[in-house]
Amino acid sequence: MISVLGAGAFGTAVAVSLARNGGSVQLWAHDPAHVEALRQARENVLRLPGVPLPDNVEPIERLDDVPPEAVILLAVPMQTLRHLLQDNAEHFLARTLVACCKGMDLKTHVGPVQTISDCVPTAMPAILTGPSFAADIAHGLPTALTLACRDERVGKALQQSLTTPNLRIYRTTDTIGAELGGALKNVIAIACGVVIGARLGDSARAALMTRGYAEMQRMALRLGAKPETLAGLSGFGDLALTCTSEGSRNFRFGLSLGQGEPFDTDVTVEGAATARAALARARELGIEMPITGAVTALLDGQVDVRQAMDMLLSRPLKDE
C-alpha cells in the first residue's frame, strides 16, 4: 500500500502513475470537500484535469485510515509540511516518510528532509525529487527521478516500490544535496522567467542558469552535500527543466514579473518563499548568493527588474 498525502497536481499524478503499475494507492486531501469531489468525479478537476483516477486509487480524508505498513509520500507544498507533521505527529511516529516537496521552510530555513527529522525524530525521512512535471508523469511520459534516503536498505526498498515502467528512479544517500537542489532551482527558475519576460535575452538566461548552479552548489556543498548529487537529476536536471519550460509555474511566475503582469495567487510558486528562506540561511552561513538576493529584493519590491540586473552586473569582477 502507498499513501500519498496531498492531492494537488503532483500527489495526484504520482498516485495515478503508481496505481497504473498495480497495487493499492490512497490519496489523502486535507479538505473533505476535495475528497468528496475526487470520489464523485474520479478526477482532480482543479489541479490535474483530464486524468482519470484508476479504480485502485482511493481518496481518503482521515489519516487514521492510513495502514501501518503503508509507504507515505508527502506531496504538500513546502510551507505547509511542518504544520502537517506537527499537527498530526501521532500518525507519523517511526514511519518512513518520503517528501515530494521542493523548498525551504520560511521559519526554520531548512528543507523537507530536515523538516521531517525535526518534527518527527523517530521517522525515517526520504525525498523523491528531480525533473518531472505532474502532467508528464500522469500521462505516462518517460521520467527519471532521484530517491534520497540516508538508510541504504530503506532507500533500495523505496526505489523498488516507486519505480514504474515510465518512471525510472535513481538512488542516493545524499539527502542534503537532493533536498537543496530541488529547493534552490526554483529560485533560479523565477530569475530566468524574469529575464525572458523582460526580453533580456537567452544569453542572460544561460548566464543565470550557470551562475545559479554555482550558487546552488555553494550552499549545498557547505552543508555537506556531494557535488555529484548537484550534478544529477535533483540538481542540474531539475534546474534545466524548470528554467527552460513554460510548464514550470516558477518560470511562468518570473515571466509575469518580468512583463509587469499580475500572477494568479492560487498557483503554487515554491521559489518565492524559498528565495527568502535561502537568503536568510545564506546570511547565517556567511555565503554569497547574489541571484537569490536579487530575486528576493525584486519580490519584496525593493528593486525593479533593471535594478535587479544592475545589482548582479555591477558586482566586483572575480574568477569563475
* Binding status of residue 34 toward ligand NDP by CB under 6 A: yes
CB 226 within 8 A of CB 116: no
> Is 46 or 157 the residue whose CB approaches ligand 13P more closely?
46
Which residues are CB-contacts of 100 (< 8 A; sequence separation ≥ 6)? 6, 10, 11, 14, 73, 74, 75, 127, 128, 129
- Residue 7 beta carbon to ligand NDP: minimum distance, rounded to whole angstroms: 5
318 among known catalytic residues: no
> Is 92 or 251 the residue whose CB approaches ligand 13P more closely?
251
Residue 238 near which of ligand NDP, ligand 13P, none (CB within 5-8 Å, type-dependent)? ligand 13P
Residue 131 near which of ligand NDP, ligand 13P, none (CB within 5-8 Å, type-dependent)? ligand 13P
CA neighbours within 13 Å on the CB side: how many for 285?
18
CB 242 within 8 A of CB 189: yes
> Distance (Å, rounded) from C-alpha 130 to C-alpha 42?
27
Contact letters (x/-) for ligand NDP, 62-91, by CB under 6 A? -------------xxxx-x--xx-------
- Residue 197 beta carbon to ligand NDP: minimum distance, rounded to whole angstroms: 20
Task: Select from 7-15, 158-166, 200-208, 213-221 the region that touches ligand NDP (CB under 6 A).
Answer: 7-15
> Is 59 or 103 the residue whose CB approaches ligand NDP more closely?
103
Positions in the binding site for ligand 13P (CB under 6 A): 102, 131-133, 186, 189, 238, 241-242, 248-250, 270
CB 265 within 8 A of CB 185: no
- Residue 231 beta carbon to ligand 13P: minimum distance, rounded to whole angstroms: 16
The closest of 18, 240, 211 to 131, measured between CA atoms, is: 240
The closest of 168, 129, 122, 142 to 10, measured between CA atoms, is: 129
- H helix runs in the chain, sequence order: 9-20, 32-41, 78-87, 112-119, 134-138, 152-162, 175-197, 202-222, 227-230, 238-244, 249-259, 270-285, 290-299, 305-313
Stretch 255-294 residues interacting with ligand NDP (CB under 6 A):
268, 270
Query: Among 107, 156, 185, 226, which one carries the catalytic annotation?
Result: 185
> Distance (Å, rounded) from C-alpha 306 to C-alpha 259?
12
Task: Select from 9-17, 118-126, 159-167, 211-219 the region that touches ligand NDP (CB under 6 A).
Answer: 9-17
CB 148 within 8 A of CB 175: yes
- Residue 177 beta carbon to ligand 13P: minimum distance, rounded to whole angstroms: 16
Residue 234 near which of ligand NDP, ligand 13P, none (CB within 5-8 Å, type-dependent)? none
The closest of 101, 31, 93, 43 to 66, measured between CA atoms, is: 93
**Which residues define the annotated binding site?**
6-11, 30, 102, 130, 132, 134, 185, 238, 248-250, 270
- Residue 242 beta carbon to ligand 13P: minimum distance, rounded to whole angstroms: 5
> Is 229 or 268 the residue whose CB approaches ligand NDP more closely?
268
Query: What are the strands of the beta sheet with 2-5, ordered from one edge?
Result: 57-60, 25-28, 2-5, 71-74, 96-99, 124-129, 143-149, 167-172
Q: Which residues bind ligand NDP (CB under 6 A)?
A: 6-11, 29-31, 34, 47, 75-78, 80, 83-84, 100-103, 132-134, 268, 270
Which residues are identified as catalytic? 185
